[in-house]
C-alpha cells in the first residue's frame, strides 16, 4: 500500500475537534410554559452553539412548546440548539407521592440521572431563571469539581438574620444557611455511581413530614450527610430578591454584576419586585434583535430608572453591570469573527454544494466553526429550513436575509460587518480559511475588494474579499462597480488556487474551483461528501472506494498529498 495512503487512513480516523454541547435541563408543568420559554430564550442571547435543551414536561405542553418556538423564534436562533422532550416520570416509588410534593413536577429533577443515562453532565434550572451571561462560563464550573464533588449549588442566603434553614428548618441542612436549588450543576455519571437517588429515597421516607421546600429540602439533607460531594458557587449566579430586599448582600454581584437572576416566589409576576418583573418583561418582549445594546441593555436601564428608590432599585447597576460586559464582549467577538457570505436567492442546487463547501472548511480549517459566522441570502423558507438542518451538526452561527441580490458586491450595503468573504458554492477548500481571511491585511489604503482577476478564473466571482468599510469610505456602490479603479482592487495571488498542471506549493493552495479542473473537483466532492462528521472514525469503505475510483495515479497521489499537508491539526 502507498505510504501516503496509509498515513491518510490514520488522519481520517482522527477525531475532528468541535465545541462540546452544553446540556441544559428544565422541568415544566402547569402554567409555567411562558416562563420556561423565557428562561430558554435568555440562555441563547450570549451563548454560542451547540446547546441541547432537555425539557421534561406534560404531553399537552410539549405541543405548545414546539408551536411557540417554531412560530416565534427566528430560524437562526433555532439552529443554535437541539431540543429533546421527555415525559414526566418518577422512576422509583409512588408517582403521586412525588408529584404532589411542594409543587407539581418539582421533584422530577431528582430522577434525571435515571433518565438521561447516556449524558455525563447537565445544568438544571428552575423555570423562573433568566441568564444575563454566557452559559458556557457557568458550564466551566464542572472543571473545578474535585474527585468527590457531583453537584454545584449556591447558598440559600448570605445573611444569617434572613436565613430560612438556620431559623426554621426541622431537618438537617447543608452548611450554615442551607442551599438553594434553582440553578444546579449535576454530574449525572457520579450521581449514578454514588447511588444518590436511592439515598434520597431513604431520606424522604424519614423526613417527608418535616420538609417545606420539596426537592430543595431533600437535597439539603442529602448534602448535609455528604458535604464532600457539593461544590458551592457564588450568589451572582443565582441572584434572588432576598439578596436586595433590604440592601444588596451579595458581594460577588457588587464586584462583577449579576450573571443569573432567579425570580423565586413569583418575583417575575409580582409588583412587589418590579425590578425583577421589568427584566423579565424586556427579555419576553425582545424580538431577537442583534443590537443588544439598545434592544436589551438600554431597555432594562430605562425600566430600572423608575424604581431607583426601592431597595433593589438602589442596586440597579448590579443588574446591568455584567450584562453590559457581555454585550461589549459579544460585539468584540462579532468583529473578530470570520464572516462568510453565501448567496442562494431561490436556487436549491446551491444548498447541496454549500454543504460540501462548509464541510471542507470544517475538515481543513484550524478555525473552530463557532468562529465563523455565515450570512446567507435566501428567499425560500423551505430551503432555509432544509439548509439549517443540513449543517446543524457543524455548529456554524448563521444570519439569514430574506431578499435577492444581483451581485455579491451588494453585500457591502446589506451586512453590518466590516469585512466579509463571498464564496461561490462551486469551490472546495483544502486549507485553513484563516489563510484566505489574512489577505485582508495585504490590502493597501485605497483597496476595498480582493479578486482573483488575473488568474484562470478571471471574470468569475468564485471568491471575493469585500472590505465593506472601505467601500463606504470610497463611495463604491454596486452601480459604480464597472467604473472601479484598479487602485481599489487587490488582486489575489493565483498560487492559492489548486492547479495540478503546475508545480505549486501544497502548503499555499487554499481551494479548488470546479471551473479549474472538473474531474479533480468531482473526486474531492465525492470524498468529502462521504465523511460522517458525527463520528470520530471518519474513514469508511465508501471513502476508500472513491479514492480507488481515481484511475489517474498522479491525481490520486496529489489528492492524498493535499489531505496530508493541509489537514486540520
Whether the per-residue pLDDT at 441 is higher than 80: the answer is yes
Residue 524, in any domain of the structure: no
278 and 305 share one domain: yes
Query: How far apart (Å, rounded) are the C-alpha atoms in residues 68 and 261?
Result: 23
**pLDDT attached to residue 402:** 77
285 and 157 share one domain: no
260 and 384 share one domain: no
Which of the listed residues 311, 334, 357 is the one where a domain comes to its end? 334
**Confidence label for 544 from pLDDT (cuts 50, 70 and 90):** low
**Confidence label for 369 from pLDDT (cuts 50, 70 and 90):** low
> What are the tens digits of pLDDT across the range 18-49?
457 899 999 999 999 999 999 999 999 988 77
177 and 299 share one domain: no
360 and 228 share one domain: no
**Confidence label for 320 from pLDDT (cuts 50, 70 and 90):** very high
Q: Which residue has the cell 444581483?
A: 406
Residue 67, in any domain of the structure: yes
Residue 568, in any domain of the structure: no
Query: How far apart (Å, rounded) are the C-alpha atoms in residues 146 and 431?
Result: 40
> What is 278-297 written as a DSSP string?
HHHHHHHH----S-HIIIII
Query: 211 or 151: whose pLDDT is higher?
Result: 151
C-alpha cell at 274: 418590579
Q: How many domains does the chain have?
A: 3
| Highest mean pLDDT out of 159-168, 229-238, 425-434 | 229-238
146 and 287 share one domain: no
Using DSSP bridges, classify how beta strands 151-155 and 230-232 pair: parallel, antiparallel or unpaired.
parallel
Query: 76 or 304: whose pLDDT is higher?
Result: 304
Residue 537, in any domain of the structure: no
Average pLDDT across the chain, whole number:
84
**What is the domain range of residue 326?**
243-334
Whether the per-residue pLDDT at 504 is higher than 60: the answer is no
Whether the per-residue pLDDT at 139 is higher than 60: the answer is yes
Query: How far apart (Å, rounded) are the C-alpha atoms in residues 517 and 35?
Result: 56
26-53 burial: b if 16+ Cβ within 10 Å, else e = bbbbeebbbbbbbbbbbbbbbbbbbbbb
454 and 390 share one domain: yes
Query: How far apart (Å, rounded) are the C-alpha atoms in residues 68 and 461?
Result: 41
Among 243, 242, 332, 251, residue whose Cα is nearest residue 292:
332
Cβ pair 518, 499 in contact under 8 A: no
Which of the listed residues 233, 266, 284 is the one where a domain comes to its end? 233
101 and 160 share one domain: yes
Query: What is the arithmetic mean of pLDDT over 497-521?
Result: 67
Residue 42, in any domain of the structure: yes
Tell me the CATH number at 166. Answer: 3.90.550.10
**How far apart, in Å, are the Cα atoms of 271 and each of 31, 266, 277, 312, 462?**
19, 10, 7, 13, 58
Query: How far apart (Å, rounded) are the C-alpha atoms in residues 8 and 83?
Result: 36
Which SS3 state, helix, strand or coil, does residue 100 take? coil
Counting beta carbons within 10 angstroms of the beta carbon of residue 482, is it exposed (0 to 12), middle (13 to 18) or buried (19 or more)? exposed
> What are the tens digits of pLDDT across the range 454-503?
665 444 568 999 998 888 888 776 665 556 678 888 988 888 887 655 43
Among 60, 54, 64, 66, residue whose Cα is nearest residue 27:
54
Of 115-119, 142-146, 314-318, which gets the smallest average pLDDT? 314-318
Q: Which residue has the cell 450543576?
A: 185
**Confidence label for 15 from pLDDT (cuts 50, 70 and 90):** very low
352 and 500 share one domain: yes
Of 261-275, 285-299, 528-542, which gets the smallest average pLDDT? 528-542
**Confidence label for 262 from pLDDT (cuts 50, 70 and 90):** very high
**Confidence label for 554 from pLDDT (cuts 50, 70 and 90):** low
Amino acid at each position: 500500500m502507498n505510504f501516503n495512503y496509509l498515513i491518510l487512513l490514520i488522519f481520517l480516523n482522527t477525531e475532528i475537534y468541535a465545541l462540546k454541547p452544553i446540556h441544559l435541563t428544565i422541568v415544566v408543568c402547569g402554567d409555567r410554559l411562558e416562563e420556561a420559554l423565557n428562561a430558554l430564550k435568555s440562555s441563547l442571547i450570549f451563548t454560542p452553539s451547540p446547546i441541547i435543551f432537555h425539557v421534561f414536561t406534560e404531553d399537552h405542553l410539549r405541543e405548545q412548546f414546539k408551536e411557540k418556538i417554531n412560530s416565534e423564534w427566528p430560524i437562526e436562533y433555532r439552529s443554535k440548539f437541539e431540543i429533546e422532550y421527555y415525559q414526566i416520570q418518577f422512576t422509583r416509588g409512588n408517582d403521586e407521592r412525588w408529584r404532589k410534593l411542594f409543587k407539581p413536577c418539582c421533584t422530577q429533577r431528582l430522577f434525571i440521572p435515571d433518565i438521561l443515562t447516556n449524558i455525563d453532565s447537565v445544568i438544571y434550572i428552575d423555570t423562573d431563571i433568566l441568564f444575563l451571561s454566557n452559559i458556557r462560563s457557568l458550564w466551566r464550573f464542572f472543571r473545578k469539581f474535585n474527585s468527590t464533588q457531583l453537584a454545584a449549588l449556591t447558598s440559600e442566603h448570605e445573611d444569617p438574620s434572613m436565613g430560612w434553614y438556620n431559623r426554621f428548618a426541622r431537618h438537617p441542612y447543608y452548611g450554615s444557611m442551607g442551599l438553594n436549588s434553582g440553578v444546579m450543576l449535576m454530574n449525572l455519571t457520579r450521581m449514578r455511581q454514588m447511588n444518590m437517588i436511592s439515598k434520597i429515597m431513604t431520606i424522604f421516607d424519614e423526613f417527608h413530614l418535616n420538609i417545606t421546600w420539596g426537592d430543595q429540602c431533600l437535597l439539603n439533607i442529602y448534602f448535609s450527610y455528604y458535604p464532600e460531594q457539593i461544590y458551592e458557587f457564588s450568589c451572582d449566579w443565582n441572584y434572588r430578591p432576598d439578596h436586595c430586599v433590604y440592601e444588596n448582600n451579595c458581594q460577588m454581584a457588587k464586584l462583577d454584576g449579576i450573571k443569573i437572576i432567579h425570580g423565586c416566589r413569583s418575583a417575575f409576576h409580582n409588583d412587589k419586585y418590579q425590578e425583577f418583573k421589568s427584566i423579565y418583561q424586556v427579555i419576553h418582549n425582545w424580538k431577537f434583535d442583534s443590537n443588544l445594546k439598545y434592544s436589551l441593555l438600554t431597555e432594562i436601564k430605562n425600566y430600572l430608572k423608575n424604581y431607583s428608590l426601592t431597595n433593589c432599585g438602589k442596586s440597579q447597576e448590579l443588574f446591568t453591570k455584567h450584562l453590559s460586559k457581555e454585550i461589549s464582549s459579544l460585539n468584540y467577538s462579532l468583529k473578530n469573527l470570520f464572516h462568510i457570505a453565501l448567496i442562494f436567492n431561490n436556487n436549491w442546487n446551491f444548498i447541496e454544494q454549500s454543504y460540501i463547501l462548509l464541510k471542507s472548511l470544517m475538515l481543513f480549517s484550524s478555525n473552530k466553526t463557532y468562529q465563523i459566522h455565515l450570512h446567507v441570502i435566501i428567499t425560500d423558507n423551505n430551503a432555509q429550513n432544509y439548509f439549517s438542518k443540513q449543517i446543524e451538526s457543524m455548529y456554524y452561527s448563521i444570519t439569514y436575509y430574506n431578499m435577492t441580490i444581483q451581485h455579491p458586491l451588494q453585500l457591502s450595503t446589506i451586512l453590518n460587518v466590516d469585512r466579509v468573504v463571498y464564496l461561490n458554492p462551486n469551490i472546495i477548500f483544502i486549507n485553513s480559511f484563516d489563510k484566505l481571511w489574512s489577505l485582508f491585511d495585504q490590502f493597501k489604503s485605497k483597496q476595498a475588494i480582493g479578486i482573483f482577476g488575473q488568474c484562470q478564473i478571471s471574470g468569475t466571482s468564485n471568491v471575493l474579499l469585500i472590505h465593506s468599510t472601505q467601500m463606504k469610505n470610497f463611495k463604491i456602490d454596486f452601480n459604480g462597480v464597472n467604473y472601479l479603479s484598479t487602485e481599489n482592487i487587490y488582486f489575489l495571488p493565483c498560487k492559492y488556487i489548486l492547479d495540478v498542471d503546475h508545480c505549486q506549493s501544497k502548503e499555499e493552495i487554499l481551494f479548488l474551483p470546479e471551473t479549474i479542473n472538473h474531474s479533480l473537483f468531482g473526486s474531492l466532492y465525492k470524498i468529502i461528501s462521504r465523511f460522517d462528521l458525527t463520528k470520530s472514525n471518519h474513514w469508511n469503505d465508501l471513502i476508500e472506494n472513491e479514492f480507488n475510483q481515481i484511475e489517474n495515479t498522479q491525481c490520486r497521489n496529489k489528492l492524498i498529498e493535499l489531505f496530508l499537508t493541509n489537514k486540520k491539526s
